[in-house]
Structure 1
Amino acid sequence: MIQNIQSPRQLLIGGGTVGRVAEVLAGLGLSRPLVVTDPWMVSSGTVEKLLAPLAAAGIRPGLFHETVPDPTDTVVMAGAAAFGAGDYDCLIGFGGGSPMDTAKAIALMAHPQAPAHIRALKVPHAANMAAAPVICVPTTAGTGSEATRFTVITDTETDEKMLIAGLGALPLAAVVDYELTLTVPPRTTADTGIDSFTHALEAYVSQKRNGVADMFAERAMRVIGPNLRAVYHRPDDHAAREAMMLGATLAGLAFSNSSVALVHGMSRPIGAHFHVPHGLSNAMLLPAVTRFSLASALPRYAQAARLMGCAGAGDADQVAGAKLLEELSALNAELNVPTPAAHGIDPDTWNRLLPTMASQALASGSPGNNPRVPDADEIIALYQEAYGR
């Protein structure tokens, strides 16, 4: 079996590594970055943790800080214009998934042969051409975008979250510094942590799974399982934060070389239409989707339960699978994950949009990777189950 494994050229992982970004750039022959971040990173001064070491090394980067949650096509085009107006040789995505995904999309749309609109690059198109390399510096332990060949951008005309995949979206390097996550609030810590676990689990049960992706997914679940509650309850637990950051990157490598599946396919429309943070919408769906899928990949789900520590090595697959379902529900309860109803989503609007959301979920391609592939009616039923009343 041929396995085509893709990853950044360099991963610099460890506490304090944000201070070594200039070394990474120099090693790659780069010196003129455009930093892509968000307004809070600037107003809070957090971006100075990156800019100050760069300045000390004599690097004066440009700064684009107009990124938004659920990054949009309009923001990407503004960023591409900013990139084209300067003499830049690379981009640095600094922040959570939104700035990193925006930086990747800017690199794609700044290419001389880029289409007029980024929707032309969504899957199944292979987005392999970028104007410049991207270096990612994540500040949350969740999306794994620093290690993936994906970016997700919202089409403002249709409210569709578009999955874009290709080598042009794969970072050249990533600097993974868990110390940047120490001030992340509990809600974001929980949402991004469940996001990273979902990446590992879906990569592990995906129909596109392979031995190398399995290795990353298994290790990710081993380190995320025992530490997710710890970082939620004890934000300054350095060992747990370090483990979660490593787990997020490993999970990113796993799904980038396997795939995500039904949870992500259904999650993106919730984010696009109701502006629910991505990790939170994953968490809302994960128990119901896992219950739907369990019998179609029982040995895999059972092993995931053992890896994350909620089932014992001697538990039969049926027992371990049941324990996984119990654990996912218990985790949502302990981390205060609301249902869409409890989150305040209007039931009439939710029900009206169900056919559209199901259609968009299927169009993303991710449900087709699921162990049990649903049709539109089954997706609508899962949305109804997850809604909660």
Structure 2
Amino acid sequence: MANRIVLNTISYHGHGAIENIVPELTKRGCKKAFVATDADLLKFGVTKKVTDLLDAAGFAYSVYSDIKPNPTIENVQNGVSSFKEAGADCIVAIGGGSAMDTAKAIGIIIENPEFADVRSLEGVADTKKHAVFTIAVPTTAGTAAEVTINYVITDVEKKRKFVCVDTNDIPEIAVVDPDMMASMPKGLTAATGMDALTHAIEGYITKGHCAISDMFHLEAIRLISANLRDAVQNTPEGREGMALGQYIAGMGFSNVGLGIVHAMAHGLSALYDTPHGVACAILLPVGLEYNKSVSGERYRAIGKAMCVEGIDTMSDEEAADATIAAVKKLSADVGIPANLVGILKEEDVQFLSESAFADACCPGNPRDTSIEEIAVLYKSQM
């Protein structure tokens, strides 16, 4: 079977990378940008780092910030209307996964109006045209939405998240500038960083993994494990390492899929508005324990990337356990809760289990599962 790899046409990395935004827009003949961001980034001046560059160049733009932390169908619909009203011809998405996911959906619908019903984009949508030309500028080191072919939208009415997978949604240009991430608070840095680690680890053990994705994921695990604690302390080196690590993780999992941890985490965010990274961090050791019987031989490589001492001389069982312990320690060190106590309600377990089983990430899990087994996993964290 052939393996497909989809990546940005161009990506910029490192301090000052945002200086490339205006030149990339102008050389393509773009006239007005639709800046998709969120209200907090506007409030705290993060978006301004980019709009100041647009202002200095006299480049016209319109700002859209009606985007929730878990973006909704309504956020996308309003964004489509705002894009049309603005007369824009390109998108600059500034933010975490929420802003970039919303921008992806807007860009797809503008170019493929037959998918105006946002729910019709769930799964693998048969769109014909690439989304509006988009430059994605992440402000968190976690989701890697700037390099993936996925986006996630919340259906408030049905109390669920749905995953959309479309090669036409990937931003043409990613601008990964650690300076855009410097103002992230500790809690958000920790949560998004653990989301990135979950991407890398789930991507490494997923059914669809291949030699190229393995290369990406192991390097991402190494970078994230080495830099997340420092990034939470806001060191320049930690920020830069995490910016690169989360992007590399996205290069991998976008092309081979994820697993049960993300499938279960999506429901928690949709139902309780739990930060996605927090949900992933809590559930990652649970998923690793569950999958150990079928993919445990790959855990040694994960542990080596996390610099687990003495792992080369351990048995497979010992290496797997040591790797899971290292994941738990990293999560605890950056302040993530140990379980779902105070989050998960027993009366919701059945609904959440059904949602997780139906989630687009679930089929990629290395161990085949069931609604009943997922329910047991949820309950183990109460």
Using structure 1 for the length normalisation, give the TM-score: 0.94
Residue 354 of structure 1 pairs with residue 354 of structure 2? no
Cα deviation, residue 255, structure 1:
0.5
Q: Equivalents in 1 of 2:176, 2:229: separation in Å?
A: 21
Q: Equivalents in 1 of 2:131, 2:312: separation in Å?
A: 52
Q: Secondary structure at 1:171's aligned position in 2? A: coil
Does the aligned pair in 1 maintain the 2:266–2:276 contact within 8 Å? yes
CA RMSD of aligned residues (A): 1.6
> What is the CA deviation profile of residues 13-71 of structure 1, one whole-angstrom value per residue up to 9, with x for unaligned ones?
11111232102223444342100001111111211100011121221211101111100
Does the aligned pair in 1 maintain the 2:300–2:311 contact within 8 Å? no
Cα deviation, residue 332, structure 1:
2.5
User: Which residue number corresponds to residue 190 of structure 1?
Assistant: 190
Cα deviation, residue 313, structure 1:
5.7
Q: Equivalents in 1 of 2:302, 2:218: separation in Å?
A: 8
User: Which residue number corresponds to residue 254 of structure 1?
Assistant: 252
Cα deviation, residue 175, structure 1:
0.4
Task: Determine which of 262, 265, 274 is the counterpart of 2:263.
Answer: 265
5+ long unaligned stretches in structure 1: none
5+ long unaligned stretches in structure 2: none
Q: Equivalents in 2 of 1:244, 1:63: separation in Å?
A: 28
Cα distance change, pair 102–154 in 1 and its aligned pair in 2 (3 A) = same
User: Which residue number corresponds to residue 49 of structure 1?
Assistant: 49
Give the number of aligned pairs.
381
Cα deviation, residue 215, structure 1:
1.5
Q: Equivalents in 1 of 2:28, 2:202: separation in Å?
A: 33
Q: Secondary structure at 2:137's aligned position in 1? A: strand
Q: Secondary structure at 1:141's aligned position in 2? A: coil
Cα distance change, pair 131–216 in 1 and its aligned pair in 2 (3 A) = closer
Task: Determine which of 291, 300, 303 is the counterpart of 1:302.
Answer: 300
Residue 368 of structure 1 pairs with residue 367 of structure 2? no
Residue 240 of structure 1 pairs with residue 238 of structure 2? yes
User: Which residue number corresponds to residue 321 of structure 2?
Assistant: 322
Q: Equivalents in 2 of 1:365, 1:241: separation in Å?
A: 31
Cα deviation, residue 115, structure 1:
2.7
Cα distance change, pair 67–356 in 1 and its aligned pair in 2 (3 A) = same
Does the aligned pair in 1 maintain the 2:193–2:228 contact within 8 Å? yes
* Counterpart residue identity of residue 239, structure 1: E
Q: Equivalents in 1 of 2:296, 2:285: separation in Å?
A: 15
Does the aligned pair in 1 maintain the 2:225–2:330 contact within 8 Å? no
* Counterpart residue identity of residue 254, structure 1: G
Does the aligned pair in 2 maintain the 1:41–1:95 contact within 8 Å? yes
| Identity in percent | 31
Does the aligned pair in 2 maintain the 1:37–1:95 contact within 8 Å? yes
Q: Equivalents in 2 of 1:294, 1:31: separation in Å?
A: 53
Cα distance change, pair 165–305 in 1 and its aligned pair in 2 (3 A) = same
Cα deviation, residue 300, structure 1:
1.3
